A and B are shown apart, each in its own frame.
Chain A
Amino acid sequence: MSTRKIDPRLLALLAAVETTNPPVPAPGRGLRLLAARTPAHRGTRRVAPAAPPASAARVFLEASRSATLDFPNTATAVSKVVDGLWTATVPLDEVRTLASHRAVRRVTLARRLRPLLDKALPRVHVPQFRTANALTGTRVIVGVIDSGIDAKHAAFAGRILRVWDQTRQGAGVPEGPYGVEFTGADLTRSRDTDGHGTHVAGIAAGDHPDYGGVAPGASIVVVRTTMDDTDIADGIRYVFRIAGQQGVPAVVNLSLGGHDDGHDGSDPLCKVIDEASGPGRIVCCAAGNEGDDNIHGLTKVTRHTEAGMRFHVPVGSVTETSLTGWYGSKSRLEVAVRTPDGKLTPFQAIVDGTGSPTNRYELAGTHIIVTTPGADPANGDYNFRVTLRSITRGAHVRQGIWQLRLRLVAGPAPTVHVWTLDDAEFPEVTFTGSSRSDTMKVGSPGSASRAITVGCFTSKTTWTDRAGHERELGYAAGRITSFSSEGPLRNRARKPDVTAPGAIIASAFSRFLSPDAEDIVSDDIVMMSGTSMASPFVAGLVALLLERTPTLTPEQVKNTLKIASRIPGRKAGAFDVKWGYGLVDANRL
């Protein structure tokens, strides 16, 4: 029975049509109607629409993933979104025929949605700031180093200057002899198959009637990066060179990061950011999304006792995992690893003479690689590294509770900070027990001292997907998002700097992306959340500031943003390791 495939709102619309029995004109573009545009139904659910009924409706069709929908002898026009999900404009007298199609599983009336980025912008008074100062980001370059951009997206029309696609085989650019640079009509030859970069670019600089970004007049330079930090460093220099050649200021957004560093801004990517930044050259970084993950552990190692740091490797989770540990150079530690079944590697001392500081052990079906070099030349601290990899190539690391064992052999009792690293999309290997520490989870490049590092504020907790289903994420509205990574840095420097809306944000949707249907808001807009979304929000604000004063230094921009930020319920100027200096308010810029 095809009626079972039709959602109740659409059935109600059909009933209204059949009751009043109006003439049904031939469908056309002018007849397309989003039923929930009717003011009486805005914001309501499962309520019958008011008369007069429409003669055609915009619907979603759910079908099997392999289905090919075609209705040659009807006026129905369909358009595929992703495998299994289609949009269609259907004359109302053809809805039941459509629903009876064998491949169609569900026909759902589209809803008119509230623009969510439009909610994020007013939340921090961006429209007022832009209007009062007549700013849009014009004559400023927003550099997006990310997964690329859908250059055909209308939100960026005519404003993308160049794309350096580092993932393609080519001769590269002066900053790196690899990848391909595209300009003009060739911009679309680089594709954003991940969608992250397009979304990020939309937040910083998208121009869209409902879901516009913060600086919709800015020019855009894109680096589709390999995600290797060396290539990201080259990308930063590339964007700033282009800006210099054009004689305009630039802000680079980095919605990416890692934890394989000393968490003190001393790693080379941070150094490149600090060196490349300057008057009219600003870098914004995401703080990270590890606020809910126990990736950081710390312990104090005292003489005559062995310290243990327990960490959990979930079953079937990772094929390789590492620990990177850091402590001051006045102390000397030895490092060992205990397997889940109680076997222990030899304790390994610092190797600060000649010869490799790496040794390899085999225990419990696992290669255990321990590296204990001399003091790190960049910051003078000791760093050790432990890597676990199954002896069976490609197999998962043995699950269970592992232990890092540390003992002090010289010097004062040090506090040792250790971060877990793994090859999963999200952190899988985490500390457990007393050594876990919910601090110091802003890694490189967010730890760069001249970068503006941005935490995530929850400006919205629910949305309605385009199939009409209400969706909710378990965050508290009006607060810092729980996953937003905490500072400070290991050297106690204050990070993050400020907080901006990052959950939940609607922005540009790359047509090469196949997101979950529930995240799709409309044909060209998708939902995402993260500090990845908060950072371009601030990058857009920085573009506006640079339009007003093109020679601002990173320190001036950072100070301006700090003064404009507040932690709810706290005095101006208060700092918190999660909020930084608080939620930025454009009215105070």
Chain B
Amino acid sequence: MDYQKLDAKLNEALAAPEGPATFEVFVEITPDAANDDLERLVRLGLPRLQGSQSVVTVRLSRTLVGEVSDVPAVRQVRLSRRLRHS
């Protein structure tokens, strides 16, 4: 687990003694990602990047959060936020 790639809220959620089993997250991928890294991320369950996308959404288990964060091409894994009507 590369904690430095996880945002503060995801770090907090992972540290909770009774945290959820899965986490809805954004995964941001570096623009110069190696093809091997991208294929590895697909194998870990991430959708394939389309066009100029650098961000994907995915639901990950605690273990997969760790594995995804360890991929060099991953810049950040950020936990989803619940928004309000404005």
The one of B12, B25, B55 that contacts A358, using a Cβ cutoff of 8 Å: B12
- The reply to whether the CB of B83 lies closer than 8 angstroms to some CB of chain A is yes
Q: In the complex, are the beta carbons of B85 and A256 less than 8 A apart?
A: yes
Known: A271-B54, A356-B11. A373 touches B4 (CB 8 A): yes
* Chain A residue contacts of B86, Cβ below 8 A: 255-257, 286-289, 446, 530-532, 535
Question: In the assembled complex, which residues on chain B have CB atoms less than 8 Å from the CB atom of A428?
Answer: none
How many A-B contacts at CB < 8 Å in the complex? Answer: 128
- A230 near B75 with CB under 8 A, answer no
Residues of B within 8 A of A268 (CB): 26, 28, 55, 76, 78
Whether the pair B82, A272 counts as a contact (CB closer than 8 A) is no
A selection of 24 A-B contacts at a CB cut-off of 8 Å is A196-B85, A228-B83, A229-B81, A229-B82, A229-B83, A231-B57, A233-B26, A234-B57, A257-B83, A258-B82, A271-B55, A275-B54, A275-B55, A351-B3, A352-B4, A356-B15, A357-B3, A358-B11, A376-B7, A377-B4, A383-B8, A387-B12, A425-B84, A530-B85
Residue of B9, B57, B82 contacting most chain A CB atoms (<10 Å): B57
Number of chain A interface residues as a range: 35 or more
Residues of B with C-beta under 8 A to A269: 26
Q: Within A193-224, which residues are at the interface with B (CB < 8 Å)? A: 194, 196
Name the A residues within 8 Å of B55 (CB-CB): 233, 268, 271-272, 275
Complex contact A369–B12 (CB within 8 A): yes
> A232 CA to B86 CA in the complex, in Å?
14
Residue in A230, A287, A535 whose beta carbon sits within 8 Å of that of B80 in the complex: A230
Interface of B is mostly: mixed
Chain B CB within 8 A of A176 CB: yes
Do B3 and A356 touch across chains, with their CB atoms under 8 A apart? yes
**Within residues 10 to 47 of chain B, which ones have a CB less than 8 A from any CB in chain A?**
11-12, 14-16, 24-26, 28
* Interface positions of B (Cβ within 8 A of A): 3-9, 11-12, 14-16, 24-26, 28, 52-55, 57, 75-76, 78, 80-86
Contacts of A360 in B (CB 8 A): 15
Chain B residues with CB under 8 A of A535: 86
CA distance A230 to B82 in the complex (A): 9
A369 touches B15 (CB 8 A): yes
**Chain B residues, CB < 8 A from A289:** 86
Q: Is A576 an interface residue (CB 8 A)?
A: no
Nearest Cβ in chain B — how far from A368, in angstroms? 12
Chain B residues within 8 Å of A228, by CB = 24, 80-83
Which of chain A's residues 400-452 have a Cβ closer than 8 Å to chain B?
425, 444, 446
The answer to whether B83 and A377 have CB atoms under 8 Å apart is no
Known pairs A231-B24, A287-B86. 12 more at Cβ < 8 A?
A194-B85, A229-B80, A260-B9, A260-B81, A267-B78, A268-B26, A357-B11, A371-B9, A373-B7, A377-B4, A377-B28, A387-B12
**Top 3 closest A-B pairs, CB basis?**
A286-B86, A268-B26, A385-B8
- What chain A residues lie within 8 Å of B4 (beta carbons)? 352, 373-374, 377
Nearest-Cβ distance from residue B9 to partner chain A, whole angstroms? 6
Candidate in A196, A267, A358, A378 with the most chain B CB atoms within 10 angstroms? A358
Q: Whole-angstrom distance between the alpha carbons of A372 and B7 in the complex? A: 10
A residues lining the B interface (CB < 8 Å): 146-147, 176, 194, 196, 227-234, 255-258, 260-261, 267-269, 271-272, 275, 286-289, 322, 324, 351-352, 354-358, 360, 369, 371-374, 376-378, 383-385, 387, 425, 444, 446, 530-532, 535
State whether A227 touches B12 (Cβ < 8 A).
no
Given the complex, which residues of B lie within 8 Å of A387, measured CB to CB? 12
User: Do the beta carbons of B82 and A371 come within 8 Å of each other?
Assistant: no
Whether B76 pairs with A378 at a CB distance below 8 angstroms is yes
Task: Using A271-B28, A275-B55, A385-B12 as known contacts, say yes or no to A377 and B5 having CB atoms under 8 A apart.
Answer: yes
| With contact pairs A230-B26, A355-B3 given, residues A371 and B11 touching in the complex (Cβ less than 8 Å) | yes
Q: Nearest residue in A to B16 (C-beta to C-beta)?
A: A369
| Alpha-carbon distance between A354 and B7 when the two chains are bound, in angstroms | 14
The distance in angstroms between the C-alpha atoms of A228 and B84, with both chains bound, is: 9
CA distance A166 to B17 in the complex (A): 29
Whole-angstrom distance between the Cβ of B11 and the nearest chain A Cβ? 5
B7 — which chain A residues lie within 8 A by C-beta? 373, 376, 383
B18 to chain A, nearest CB (A): 10
B6 to chain A, nearest CB (A): 7
- Whether B76 contacts A377 by the Cβ 8 Å rule is yes
A269 to B78, CA, bound (A): 10
Give A228 to B24 CA distance when docked, in angstroms: 9
B23–chain A nearest beta-carbon distance, Å: 10
